[in-house]
């Protein structure tokens, strides 16, 4: 791409627009913001942005509606979807509508910069469907047999049909010292993308851990309630949070990121 890339950030909250713009400010891009889908369409009609970063949840014209109109108008534009209401189904639906990629909030500035860099590479394929079939996303950090929901949480199907759920180490790395964990109770029902537990850090901040799959809680790892360092020391193993009796596992697992081996196996099928 020649010249400075033009990026439009669309979110109905001014602080969010400023935060995203700040994460990209030193990258040499020309950045503008819009507070609604209608405003975004008008700006893009005038200036034809290379990348549009869209919040899915907005009043009036939704992010999904904006995505649809933009791609109908300019199929070549690369759209990155962000959402503070992490619905994996919505994210996947946006990819089927030809979004380049999605980022669930909160995300680290480095994650946003990496997605933007990939989006600006004309030879880099989108995280999308090819020939109508979903191509699984690879999470290189995950052990074999583990599926992840962003850099937030993970799921491991077990031989007995239940699923272990834990906290992604990338999320833990950005939290620091943990003060308390708000764990679910046995019998609770969780829906994919909804809150599974909440982490309170020593600075009074709350961090939401999403449920990577839907199901009923059948066991809670009580030993991490008081000794949260277990999750920090072995996040892929002894630091698991809950076991779920899954509801629609076969339908939900393909929506998650996988290990290299798991992704390769699915693509061969």
Closest listed residue to residue 87, CA positions, set 69, 105, 61: 105
Per residue of the chain (269 residues), give pLDDT as tens: 456 899 999 999 999 999 999 999 989 999 999 999 999 999 999 999 999 999 988 889 999 999 999 999 999 999 999 876 556 667 767 877 888 887 877 677 888 898 899 889 887 766 553 324 444 555 667 888 999 887 788 999 999 999 999 998 888 877 777 888 889 999 999 988 778 888 888 888 788 788 889 999 999 988 775 555 666 678 898 889 999 999 999 888 887 877 645 443 443 33
Domain with CATH 3.40.50.2300 in the chain: 6-131
pTM, full prediction: 0.60
Which overall architecture, per CATH, does domain 147-268 show? Beta Barrel (2.40)
| Torsions phi, psi for 14 (to 5 deg) | -60, -45
DSSP structure string for 133-184:
EE-PPB-TTSPTT-EEETTTEEEEE-TTS-EEEEE-HHHHHTT-SEEEEE--
Would you state the pLDDT for residue 137?
54
Q: From its phi and psi, is residue 17 left (phi > 0), alpha (psi between -120 and 50) or beta?
A: alpha
Q: What count of other Cβ atoms lies within 10 Å of the Cβ of residue 200?
A: 16
Would you state the pLDDT for residue 83?
76
| Dihedral of alpha carbons 200, 56, 20, 174, sign | positive
How many CA within 13 A on the CB side of residue 252? 23
Q: Counting beta carbons within 10 angstroms of the beta carbon of residue 99, is it exposed (0 to 12), middle (13 to 18) or buried (19 or more)?
A: buried
Query: Rounded to whole angstroms, how far apart are CA atoms 124 and 47?
Result: 24
Would you state the pLDDT for residue 240?
92
Q: What's the topology of domain 6-131?
A: Rossmann fold (3.40.50)
Domain with CATH 2.40.50.100 in the chain: 147-268
Task: Say which DSSP state 2 is in.
Answer: -
* 246 three-state secondary structure: strand
Q: Counting beta carbons within 10 angstroms of the beta carbon of residue 66, is it exposed (0 to 12), middle (13 to 18) or buried (19 or more)?
A: buried
What torsion do the CA atoms of 228, 232, 238, 242 make, to the nearest 10 degrees?
60
Would you state the pLDDT for residue 267?
39
Would you state the pLDDT for residue 249?
92
């Amino acid at each position: 791409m020649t010249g400075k890339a033009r990026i439009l950030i669309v979110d109905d909250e001014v602080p969010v627009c400023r935060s995203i713009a700040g994460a990209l400010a030193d990258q040499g891009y020309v950045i503008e913001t819009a507070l609604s889908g209608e405003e975004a369409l008008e700006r893009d009609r005038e200036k034809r942005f290379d990348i549009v970063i869209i919040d899915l949840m907005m009043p009036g014209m939704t992010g999904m509606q904006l995505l649809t109109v933009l791609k109908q108008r300019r199929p070549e534009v690369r759209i990155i979807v962000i959402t503070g209401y992490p619905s994996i189904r919505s994210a996947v639906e946006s990819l089927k509508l030809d979004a380049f990629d999605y980022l669930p909030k909160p995300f680290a500035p480095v994650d946003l910069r990496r997605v933007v860099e990939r989006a600006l590479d004309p030879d880099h394929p989108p995280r999308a469907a090819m020939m109508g079939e979903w191509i699984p996303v690879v999470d290189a950090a995950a052990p074999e047999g583990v599926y992840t929901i962003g850099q937030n949480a993970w799921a491991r199907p077990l031989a007995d049909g239940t699923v272990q759920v834990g906290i992604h180490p990338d999320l833990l790395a950005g939290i620091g010292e943990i003060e308390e964990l708000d764990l679910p109770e046995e019998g609770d029902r969780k829906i994919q993308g909804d809150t599974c537990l909440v982490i309170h850090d020593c600075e009074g901040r709350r961090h939401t851990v999403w449920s990577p799959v839907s199901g009923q809680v059948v066991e809670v790892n009580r030993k991490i309630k008081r000794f949260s360092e277990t999750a920090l020391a072995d996040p892929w193993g002894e630091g698991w949070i809950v076991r779920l009796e899954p509801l629609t596992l076969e339908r939900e697992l393909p929506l998650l990121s996988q290990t290299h081996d798991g992704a390769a196996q699915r693509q061969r099928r």
